[in-house]
Amino acid sequence: MDEHERLNRREIVFIASIGVGILLNALGTFKTLPGMNLDTAVLLTVIGGWRIFYESFSELLLHRRISADLAVSIAAIAALLIGEYLAAAEVIFIMLIGGALEHYAVAKTHSALEKLLELAPKTACIKRDGEELEVSVEQVQVGDIVIVRSGERIPVDGIIVAGRSSVNQAPLTGESVPVDKTVGDEVFAGTLNELGALEIRTTHVGSETKLGQIVRLVREAQERKGKVQRLADKYAQWFVPVLLLVGGLTFLIAQFGLGLEIQQTLLRVVSVLVVACPCAMVLSTPTAVVAALGRLARSGILAKGGIYIEQLAEVDCIAFDKTGTLTEGKPKVQIVIPLGNCTVNEVLQFAAAAEQMSEHVFAQAIVNEAKKQNLQIPAATDFQTILGMGVQAVVNGKTVLVGSKSFIAEQIGEIDEATQQQLNQLAQQGFTAILVAVVDAQTNSHSILGIIALADQLRLQAKETVQQLKAMGISKVVLLTGDNAAIARRIAHEVGVDEFHAELLPQGKVAIVQQLQN
């Protein structure tokens, strides 16, 4: 149980205790404290409302600011002064419920921050004086060499000085496939090193990393209140003075116009203050927000807080992230291009046979496509992974190579011009192209069997959703992604968005959103 859950439970127990006390007082079961001539409603009002009293009057005296809580405090104190203790306690109880609902809505944002913080490792393996030391991330300094092994998350921002690997940057950039990294490339804290060991020279640590900056942005977003959430305080600026004026007029009319006794006059003044107390206004927003959060959750939609729901009413532009939002977030085989005398099925069979022992997402996509086509996948031996390049294995007595253009060229020589043109066309269309080749040691020959084009799959409802948004009056739909421009252009065209921005880190996405807001 995290701190927010503990606070919520304590708050619920506290409010429930106040409510039970008020009920017992109203029933006459627990009217006074034993041995004391003190109405329990007075005690409940003071215990339940001391924070409301303190904050409302300190806002007035220290910051010259009138809040909705000030009207509540005035009504409760006035009720206490004329002996209407139960009314005072009820007013405070209603305010406590409103505050609890508001805290519940705000706490919904906490899980997003917790998930971000979980991405950052708590320790790091560093190399000092030829030795490997396990230290806390706080002890890592700029310039330290950090060692990250396969399957570990990277704890710092830095530059690779040794090693080659495939790094999953989806938590930061939203890229749908892991990125091949080698010496000289930049890596970021919180990303996952999927294959191979890396030695990284640290450039940023802690709050200075890209992940640390994202956490700061989320915290700032959590601290902001929505316009609707501030309505009660906004209207309190004129509501409280008007309320006091009406109370004063009531006193004058009752005392001098009707000639009532002072006790009756004060009772009428307090009645005006209590009846006009903005409990309904204070309760309405958090109640509506909590109801909306619950309704969205039942529909499978998780909102980070009330502010985001409230501001939807004013939206005229929507910016979509790509991976996992408009797309499914995992690559799939889109096109298989056979070369020479090969068929599509033969290209898939050889590729799946070589890739079946690999854990790379491209390998899984190829194997899944072969199974989907009900193809028999031959057995493979002598499997090898060449980090960041591809794989090779022996299938039916032939060495099968599956990987990037540079990998295939390194193994069999230059790629012919026709194949190169097809690769260029696929790249321009936003596809990731993989070559499949075989080497026959017996005949000392080699050939490229075909090309497999992969891409993140578009969600079935993505295009329809964008069309519906435009029909609802959204004037601009924007795509933001960490993927390259070719991929972004293809998705933007297929979905029908108005503009796209590619190769963005999270800070870049924030900057684009701020430009749209301006």
Closest alpha carbon to 434 in 403, 389, 472: 403
**What single DSSP character describes residue 200?**
E
Q: Quick check: is 321 catalytic?
A: yes
Q: Which residues contact 201 (CB under 8 A, 6 or more apart)?
A: 143, 144, 145, 146, 158, 159, 161
> What does the alpha-carbon distance between residue 479 and residue 482 come to, in Å, rounded to a whole number?
10
Q: Active site residue: 180, 185, 321, 498, which one?
A: 321
**What single DSSP character describes residue 92?**
H
**Long-range residue pairs from 302-309, CB within 8 A, at least 24 positions apart, any chain:** 303/108, 304/108, 304/109, 304/112, 304/221, 305/105, 305/106, 305/108, 305/109, 305/222, 306/102, 306/105, 306/106, 306/108, 306/226, 306/228, 306/229, 307/224, 307/225, 307/226, 307/229, 308/226
Q: Which residues contact 103 (CB under 8 A, 6 or more apart)?
A: 7, 8, 11
Q: What is the crossing angle of helices 85-107 and 279-298, to 10°?
A: 30
Which of the residues are catalytic?
321
